Structure 1
Amino acid sequence: MPSNTIGTDGTITRDARSRYRQRSEDGAHGAFEAETKRAGGSPRAEVEVDRGQAPADVAALLGSADEVVIRRRRMFDAQRLVQLADTYIPAYVADVAPTVAQLDTGAGGIISRMADAGLAQTDVVEDVTQVPASPEQAEALGVEPGALLLTITHIGRTEDGRTVEVTQHVLSPGWTLRYGVPLD
């Protein structure tokens, strides 16, 4: 199945057709690590985990303003910061799958830990938009404040329709997103 690639010019092509199925290959701790290694890159992440309130737009997607586990990640290919990813997980999910609230979530990352606890994501929607970089995002990603950045909002739901994860990925410049549509 297709994979992500890193071009000689540093352009990253994120191929969504395979990323969630191959998230634990070779012990990877999630899709980003697996796909970056497969592309010949050197993935690493700086992770912070806390509990708190989700922003209003995320709370609306979660269907609740209750407390969430917040995983903030700065994701690198070698020394180059390539994305910021903030994940919001309902507290009840962390009660059932406590590893999602730890820094090291093990092979396959949080999606695998949720599945292990009976909360497998069977429906994923990703909305891709452009948003103006906040001053913090601009400084981290080396762009001017207000520069338009691609943002992917990942919404993961269980078979019974419960939203168990919302992740907002803010991508550095130089990404291509690839999605496939079956034509049956």
Structure 2
Amino acid sequence: MTEGKTPKWLQLANELEQEIRNGDRPPGSLLPQIRELVDTKGWAYDTVRNAYRALEDKGLIVSRKGQGTYVSSILEKIHRDATSRYSKVAREAAGSRGAFDTEIRNLGMTPKSVSQVYRAQPPQKVAEILGVSRRGKSTAVRERTMYADDTVVQVATSYFPGDVAFGSALEQEDTGPGGSISRLAELGYQQTSMTEHLEIRQPGKDEASALGIPADRPVVEITHIGRTADGRAVEVCLHVVPANLWHFSYSWSVDQPE
């Protein structure tokens, strides 16, 4: 390739991206199949495939097995500001059921969560963090599939110690304004410190199916741990999100000048 020359796949990707952002290809519209562009435009198969993959990496299009490739309804990445998202103001803004609701509303989209609430034996790492038994159903679990409009953008599973959560509002499908963190505070377990561990990995089969993404699409797993003032862990939440749909930011103070 001549130095400075734009590869053909990138030319096509840029052309399609411009059409998407101009509204010529609106959210939800079906893109031509790769073979169709090969036949009608004379593009090489790999050129079209690489262009589509680049647009998928940006989150601008989504492939649905057996259905085709569509323009995404999420043209701007979801901003997850871990520094401020857990504040009471952010969690309860306009009646939101937690930080996720607020993030999606800020995009002008409608948040929705489909929840399953049950009691279960936790995974080993969760049991160790919460300090609960691995034997029997020692935790209350909130398992959620989370949408922005009609697009699944996250699956999240929260675990709470049984002595804190059993019989409480945490076992209700709708935890009310502010979500589980607000309900924990009302129970006397206000979270005053939080830790998050991020891991980029390939999704499991069930995760890929739930998120509606290809098995080779990377996800970010966030292990969120909430602790009370005395250091007790009262929540572990495992968030799994498609890496191409989210933007993460963190800020903190360092040594201040004397």
TM-score w.r.t. the length of structure 1 is 0.90
Q: Which amino acid aligns with 2:222?
A: I
Q: When you count helix as a share of all residues, which structure comes out higher?
A: 2
Residues 109-167 of structure 1 show CA distances to partners (whole Å, capped at 9, x for unaligned) of 11001101110000100111113211000112233336431011100011111110000
Contact 2:152–2:212 (8 Å) recurs in 1 = no
Q: Distance in 2 between matches of 1:8 and 1:138?
A: 18
Aligned to 2:97: 29
122-131 or 136-145, which deviates more: 136-145
What secondary structure is seen at the aligned counterpart in 1 of 2:196? strand
Aligned to 1:90: 161
1:12 is aligned to 2:78 = yes
Contact 2:79–2:103 (8 Å) recurs in 1 = no
State the superposition RMSD in angstroms: 1.7
Contact 2:139–2:159 (8 Å) recurs in 1 = yes
**After superposition, where does 1:63-74 map in structure 2 within 5 Å?**
63-65=131-133, 67-74=138-145
**After superposition, where does 1:105-124 map in structure 2 within 5 Å?**
105-124=175-194
1:181 is aligned to 2:252 = yes
Aligned to 1:3: none
Shift of 1:98: 0.1
Unaligned runs of 5+ in 1: 1-6
Q: When you count strand as a share of all residues, which structure comes out higher?
A: 1
Q: Distance in 2 between matches of 1:76 and 1:34?
A: 12
Q: Distance in 2 between matches of 1:80 and 1:146?
A: 19
1:149 is aligned to 2:219 = yes
Moved over 6 A (4+): none
1:103 is aligned to 2:173 = yes
The structure whose RCO (Cα within 8 Å, separation 6+) is larger is: 1
1:43 is aligned to 2:43 = no
**Alpha carbons of 1:146 and 1:90: their partners in 2 closer, same or farther (altered >3 Å)?**
farther
Q: Distance in 1 between matches of 2:198 and 2:192?
A: 20
Q: Which amino acid aligns with 1:17?
A: T
What secondary structure is seen at the aligned counterpart in 2 of 1:23? helix
1:132 is aligned to 2:198 = no
Q: Which amino acid aligns with 1:107?
A: P
What secondary structure is seen at the aligned counterpart in 1 of 2:229? coil
Aligned to 1:4: none
Unaligned runs of 5+ in 2: 1-72
Q: Distance in 2 between matches of 1:93 and 1:38?
A: 32
Q: Structure 1 vs Structure 2: percent identity of aligned residues?
A: 38
Q: Which amino acid aligns with 1:93?
A: V
Q: Distance in 2 between matches of 1:10 and 1:78?
A: 14
Q: Which amino acid aligns with 1:33?
A: D
TM-score w.r.t. the length of structure 2 is 0.65
